[in-house]
A and B are shown apart, each in its own frame.
Chain A
């Protein structure tokens, strides 16, 4: 699996957009980008995934650069409940996920 690099921590004001970057410069052509989050020892929660096109669902948007070497997860209106560790994972189909270390996002009132 390609290595990913994420900021250790980030702060975001409640109600503002949270933009979480992820660098995956060694990603290969068939590796997908997945985002998960973990809220205080709960099970990791799936957010979104993509291959090369931008994706959007009810939780977030995923923007992948054209060269696929980096991506950004966007939470459009962050709430206090979005405070969590966010993991960016790249994975070849059929392989397991490698977590860590992720970005600790703190949403501030």
Chain B
């Protein structure tokens, strides 16, 4: 079965640079979620979109923004990168926002030098 696709799988940036992470949800899924997982930490919710509208917001820094496009894929834009942004970034998708489970991609490992 098709899964959530994230690109790139690995990304290396320097401080103050920008980065864009992409997420392609499972076909027919209309809801996308972004999570950040720092070293040795549990995944933390950043932001979600349902039908291209922001549906919930977590601990997402103001330097980050995201959107969901008409084909339901989503992009997480990160600016003025800091060393502390080094983490795994997971995208998940679901069918609707109610009780259906979220299905996660394999993540993007972002390293800030």
- Using CB atoms, name the residue of chain A closest to B43: A99
Contacts of A100 in B (CB 8 A): 41-43
Asked if A43 meets B97 with Cβ closer than 8 Å, knowing A99-B43, A99-B44, the reply is no
Contacts of B88 in A (CB 8 A): 41
Check B101 against A96 for contact (C-beta < 8 Å). Answer: no
Check B102 against A97 for contact (C-beta < 8 Å). Answer: yes
Interface residue range, chain A: 20 to 34
Stretch of B11-19, B74-82, B104-112 with 4 or more beta carbons under 8 angstroms from chain A: B104-112
A44 within 8 A of B: yes
Contacts of A51 in B (CB 8 A): 99
List residues 1-53 of chain B with CB under 8 A from any CB of chain A: 4, 33, 35, 37, 41-45, 48
A–B complex contacts, Cβ < 8 Å, 29 sampled: A38-B43, A41-B37, A42-B106, A43-B4, A43-B90, A43-B105, A43-B107, A44-B90, A44-B92, A44-B104, A45-B104, A46-B103, A49-B99, A51-B99, A87-B42, A93-B99, A95-B56, A96-B33, A96-B45, A97-B33, A97-B43, A97-B45, A98-B45, A99-B35, A99-B42, A100-B41, A100-B42, A100-B43, A101-B42
Which residues on B are within 8 Å of A, measured CB to CB? Answer: 4, 33, 35, 37, 41-45, 48, 55-56, 58, 88, 90, 92, 97-99, 101-107
